[in-house]
Structure 1
């Protein structure tokens, strides 16, 4: 199926009916505090799926999730996943690894949001999104990026301007183009490398 920006795939505290496996889109997993704006806690690309609580044995979760970068995804019913899990031990193994990688991502995001400057976090976020989309160019508004980073829109405008002036990105009309991924990686906080290394380690790990 095709997913557009803001299409919601999970609603907090509501039964999860379908799981989405991104092909070239990116999903945002969001956390909300009463009276405050939602903040992104993780992104989901072609390495994973939405609806991990279903695999873990629950029918709902405390997070919203919606499409951040448009593209295609595969959709599977929650009941369908349970049928596959009953038949296929290999799927259990893959999803256990993905659960571990997601826990590392969530923990690192907490530390990153607390300790690192907006410019470093922005560079990390752009690199992670580039990895998940599999392309150097993707749509992104300043409003959306501000929500993802948990900062004001004016802060995003200044930060993106710094990265653009340095020749790392081009940002025009809601489109991001990564011009120098190596420079962007040098600017990003160490969290990008830590999370990337964990996903690579789990991908390369031998079958149990």
Structure 2
């Protein structure tokens, strides 16, 4: 598991002086699966630049039901808009795949943004990326079959967190996709029987990425086009 901040694409894109200033005011932390790093309705107190692993941004309804609207991996940042002022999160940010992240508390991050146009621009640009991802995910959830969405999600996860084995419970997967656990079980079984993945005791391993892409919906490529380069 990497702990090198330069593995985060946004941090690696910063001018050296800005990167060094940020590093001096931050720390690398470990993120365990299932940890809620920011709850919906709470003021964001820290900014996280994932180095490895992945964080889900989840909309939670009054009934308690939830669905994922975006994911953030080593290409992005969580709660960056806190750098522009007091920021109340509209989503729950929960660690979906364990990893590490560079953590900066909100107050010193705001000072960095005020002193650095590059860091400020980074916040705004990535917020637009997240909004685009949320719009695509909303359309995908409404228009595409569970199987296609499941395959799209596995491909996204491989891009953000690496191609290694993914450990997730059926409950987490059903929340991610906004469907019943039985639907997740049926889809995972069909794809597994086709020899595309293995899925056992909450561990998913992709065996045939090419065939997985063939089963995925168009949203996977659309989201790749929206991602920071």
Which residue number corresponds to residue 5 of structure 2? none
Aligned position for 1:206: none
2:81 touches 2:123 (CA, 8 Å); kept in 1?
no
Write the distance in 2 (CA, Å) between the matches of 1:35 and 1:147.
13
In the alignment, is residue 16 of structure 1 matched against residue 44 of structure 2? yes
Which residue of structure 2 lines up, in the alignment, with residue 190 of structure 1? 218
SS in 2 for 1:41: strand
Matched, 1:131 2:124: no
Supply the distance in 2 between the matched residues of 1:57 and 1:90 (Cα, whole angstroms): 16
Q: How many residues align?
A: 201
The answer to whether the aligner puts 1:146 opposite 2:191 as a matched pair is no
Match of 1:4 among 16, 28, 32: 32
TM-fit CA distance, 1:198? 1.6
Runs of 4+ in 1 over 2 A off after TM superposition: 55-59, 92-97
Measured in 2, the distance between the counterparts of 1:88 and 1:52 equals 14
Cα 1:33–1:21, aligned 2, differ >3 Å: closer, same or farther?
A: same
Asked whether the equivalents of residues 53 and 61 of structure 1 are also in contact (C-alpha less than 8 Å), the reply is no
Query: What's the counterpart of residue 115 of structure 2?
Result: 87
1:39 aligns with 2:67: yes
Match of 2:85 among 53, 57, 77: 57
1:147-166 alignment, distance < 5 Å: 147-166=175-194
- Report the Cα distance in structure 1 between the residues aligned to 2:75 and 2:43, rounded to whole angstroms: 23
Alignment-derived partner of residue 180 in structure 1: 208
Q: Does 1:96 align with 2:124?
A: yes
Q: How far apart are the structure 2 equivalents of 1:85 and 1:52? A: 10
Cα distance in 1 for partners of 2:163, 2:212 equals 15
CA shift at 1:56, angstroms?
Answer: 4.9
CA distance in 2, matches of 1:132, 1:115: 24
| TM, length-normalised to structure 2 | 0.83
Distance 2:226 2:87 in 1: 28
Contact preservation (8 Å) 2:59, 2:66 = yes
CA shift in 2, pair 1:128/1:56, >3 Å: farther
Shift of 1:10: 0.5
Task: Name the residue aligned to 2:7.
Answer: none
For 1:66 and 1:47, the matched residues in 2 are separated by: 17
Distance 2:173 2:145 in 1: 15
Q: Separation in 2 of the partners of 1:115 and 1:55?
A: 35
SS in structure 1 at match of 2:103: strand
TM-score w.r.t. the length of structure 1 is 0.91
